[in-house]
Structure 1
């Protein structure tokens, strides 16, 4: 339990560090610590599959995508322009929304009774699929994903596919099309090379 509280403190501290840093590089470092702490939290809950996915996908692929975006923005490559700072205008609504969301969360937790957990059998969203003693294993997760949780899995895959198609359509309009030799700028008459004429006899 002490390890859980330690990881929870690291998660909260790294999240606050990420959103309060002015340098995007420091924010990426804080986000990396947050992802690794969350993966460690999954491992403590015997969810090794989620922990490995957290490290491989989030700490690896997605974080590397953030690094590439920061590198492109810092180098000035691409059609990126710094827009106006909207943070002061949205700070108050965002804070109010966060407080309301936390209020509903605390109210829901207070209204739901929680009994003591059985020893060495953590509560799982997987239901009774598989052996409860191997909760979070790859086999147990796969069985639950394609049986009990099949419909949410397919809906999530469909939403991701629609999002990818939308990104391609939106980005396609912003990419300049090659001219392929057409519409080349013509030189002015003064800049053209003079045509050599034969001397008159």
Structure 2
């Protein structure tokens, strides 16, 4: 049953990922990205990591997608959406999609060769919020702060880009 659910989630995630790239309307693209993020949260549930699934839903679906939608709505993207699609990269995109499809089928065919995660990993060593928080603010404090600064710079850049010139 888990394999069938994983296959369904993988197909929906792949289709929504393609919709992100191929959608002409940027709002439709952001909504397809939201569907892809929800599918990633479902994969976390399959991996028996409910905390990561909830964090995925709150941070990416709840915050990042809303930020994308606000930026899309604040910028005038209608003009760029009407421009013709660039055809010179189409062959390269088809090759990448074909390679990814072959990789997916190879994983499906050879999937029985891999072993299940060890009991130590599947028992959920990082299952509580306290353990994740302690690990985040002790071992991973510097990368956490770097990510915070990058997000702050992106937010300030978005505000500067959308600000109207007066005078």
Counterpart-to-counterpart distance in 1, 2:154 and 2:30: 24
2:45–2:53 CA contact under 8 A, matched in 1? yes
> What is the deviation of 1:145?
0.8
Kindly provide the CA deviation profile for residues 147-168 of structure 1, in whole angstroms up to 9, marking residues without a partner as x. 2222221222233333334444
Q: TM-score, normalised by structure 1?
A: 0.55
Change in CA separation of 1:16 and 1:94 when aligned onto 2, cut-off 3 Å: closer
Counterpart-to-counterpart distance in 1, 2:22 and 2:93: 15
Q: Secondary structure at the match of 1:36?
A: helix
Q: CA RMSD in A?
A: 3.7
1:120–1:133 CA contact under 8 A, matched in 2? yes
Partner of 2:106: none
Q: Does 1:171 align with 2:161?
A: yes
Counterpart-to-counterpart distance in 2, 1:88 and 1:94: 10
Q: Secondary structure at the match of 2:48?
A: coil
Change in CA separation of 1:139 and 1:6 when aligned onto 2, cut-off 3 Å: farther
Kindly provide the CA deviation profile for residues 176-199 of structure 1, in whole angstroms up to 9, marking residues without a partner as x. 21x5xxxxxxxxxxxxxxxxxxxx
Counterpart-to-counterpart distance in 2, 1:70 and 1:167: 10
Q: Secondary structure at the match of 1:145?
A: helix
Q: Secondary structure at the match of 1:87?
A: coil
Partner of 1:121: 121
Change in CA separation of 1:133 and 1:52 when aligned onto 2, cut-off 3 Å: closer
> Which structure 1 segments of 5+ residues have no match?
106-113, 123-131, 180-201
1:7–1:41 CA contact under 8 A, matched in 2? yes
Asked which structure has the greater RCO (Cα within 8 Å, sep 6+), the reply is 2
